[in-house]
């Protein structure tokens, strides 16, 4: 009887656990709940959309995660990239230097506007590709020495539908107050007494 009681009390914890340690397949870390990216320094929820993280088949030097619809992964996509910057660098200076290069890559900047997203300064940039019939919205956020660049991309004719899901996901972005292991300060030694 005692064993049944212990089993009954531990069953809820086991049911929500990941099948393998250190994997992100636990019910508590699904992308819908927002904790999936906590180890990267932010939270992001996909609740209310059918978008899921998609594995990237190409090797990239950039720390990027891509989302797309479960039903049609060939349609629109949302990618999130994080970057380190100087703490004193402004969001405007960071974005101005690469916005000048967009026309060289075939993009026409339609609009750029500053706003605040969940208490963080942000910039939204809308663009059109002159050669590939694509439309893009980028949202760039800065927090101390970190920047997140979220890019929504789709064909011009399907962009407004994809943008609804992108905006719903992007609105949930929040920087984590928890420090990642690489950001934790080194312990200082105590003076000998």
- Whichever domain contains 130, its CATH number is 3.40.1000.10
pLDDT of res. 173: 92
Which 3 state secondary structure label does DSSP give 110?
Answer: strand
Q: What are the backbone dihedrals phi and psi of residue 66, each rounded to the nearest 5 degrees, phi first?
A: -120, 140
CA distance 97 to 101: 7
Q: What is the mean pLDDT of residues 105-111?
A: 93
The reply to whether 12 falls in a domain is no
How distant, in Å, are the alpha carbons of 79, 98, 106, 136, 172 from that of 53? Answer: 9, 26, 28, 19, 15
The reply to whether 171 falls in a domain is yes
Question: Domain range for residue 54?
Answer: 26-177
The reply to whether 151 falls in a domain is yes
pLDDT of res. 31: 55
Beta bridge partners of 108: 128
Residue with tokens 């934790």: 184
pLDDT of res. 166: 94
> Looking at the 3D structure of the chain, how many domains does it have?
1
């Amino acid at each position: 009887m005692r064993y049944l009681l212990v089993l009954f009390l531990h069953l809820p914890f086991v049911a929500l656990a990941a099948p393998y340690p250190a994997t992100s397949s636990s019910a508590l870390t699904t992308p819908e709940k927002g904790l999936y990216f906590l180890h990267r320094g932010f939270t992001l929820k996909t609740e209310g959309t059918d978008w899921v993280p998609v594995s990237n088949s190409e090797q990239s030097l950039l720390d990027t995660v891509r989302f797309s619809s479960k039903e049609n992964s060939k349609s629109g996509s949302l990618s999130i990239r994080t970057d380190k910057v100087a703490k004193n660098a402004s969001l405007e200076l960071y974005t101005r230097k690469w916005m000048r290069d967009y026309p060289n890559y075939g993009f026409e900047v339609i609009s750029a506007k500053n706003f605040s997203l969940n208490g963080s300064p942000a910039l939204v940039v809308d663009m059109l590709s002159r050669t590939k019939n694509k439309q893009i919205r980028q949202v760039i956020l800065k927090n101390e020495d970190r920047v997140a660049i979220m890019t929504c991309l789709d064909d011009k004719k399907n962009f407004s539908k994809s943008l609804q899901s992108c905006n719903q996901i992007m609105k949930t972005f929040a920087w984590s107050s928890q420090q990642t292991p690489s950001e934790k300060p080194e312990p200082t030694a105590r003076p000998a007494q």
